[in-house]
Amino acid sequence: MKLPDNGPASDPNSALKRWHRRIGVAASLFVILLAFSGFSLNHPELLELDRLVVRSPMVLGWYGIELPDAIDGYAVGEHWMSQVGGKVFLDTVPLTSCRGELVGAVEIGGETAVACAGELLLLSAAGELQDRIDATYRLPVPVEALGVRDGQLLLRAQGKTFRVEPEAPSFTALNGTEPAWSVAAPLPPALVAQLAPQAAGDSITLERLVLDIHSGRILGRWGVYWMDGVAALMVLLALTGLKAWRREQR
């Protein structure tokens, strides 16, 4: 007479161990991810996560940030002056922030004058900020346009044309003067491709990205549920391990 097979296949504890291993394998990758992201978040000053800004179009797309297909700017000699993400750029080099929308840029006396709606910037030939003129200097605002005529810097604001004396600074209303105003034009496609990721500004840092990965929010609402599921797997892993251990002790 053949006895019943009581080998490992029929051992309840063996089946429990198999499920324990499967759950462990399923959860292992997420445990590693949580461990590394948790370590990073505990030491942001060591890794400088709060200073590193994410520019990846794919990652920005996850946050619902749409990058522009076209950007307008102002030709200054062989270069382009544009405003993206709140900053003024000379070609692809970020220079400074500017109050209001960029409305003009011209060369004058070996320097560059840049006008935004609420501010006038004076830059050196190398793009270094020399002066910043706003309403505290009685700058007529909002500035609508910037131009040059007979070596003089002119701006249009409040429906009038003003001659600008940057050194003082002072602004003198003129009559019958209509210079060739600086006019915006589309930037070259290659330049747009490099500047477009800057449209997000500095809102998405590596610290925020790691935090959202750690919590699952990088994938939206379902990502949070997914990480909740991983947490449930961890609890189940602990329970199956504990139960298998108790059976072995009997």
Q: Give the residue with greater pLDDT, 99 vs 233.
A: 99
Domain 72-198, CATH homologous superfamily name and number: Tricorn protease N-terminal domain (2.120.10.60)
- Nearest to 112, CA basis, from 83, 79, 137: 79
Which residues lie across from 54 on neighbouring strands?
Answer: none
Tell me what percent of the residues of the chain surpass a pLDDT of 70: 67
The predicted pLDDT at position 3 comes to: 46
- Per-residue pLDDT tens for 147-176? 998 888 999 998 899 999 988 889 999 887
Q: Is the pLDDT of residue 7 over 60?
A: no
The predicted pLDDT at position 103 comes to: 95
The predicted pLDDT at position 187 comes to: 95
Query: Would strands 102-108 and 93-97 be described as parallel, antiparallel, or unpaired?
Result: unpaired
Task: Tell me the backbone φ, ψ of residue 116, rounded to 5 degrees.
Answer: -115, 170
Domain boundaries, the chain: 9-27+216-250, 72-198
DSSP 2: P
Q: Is the pLDDT of residue 215 over 90?
A: no
Rounded mean pLDDT of 10-38? 65
Rounded mean pLDDT of 18-29? 65
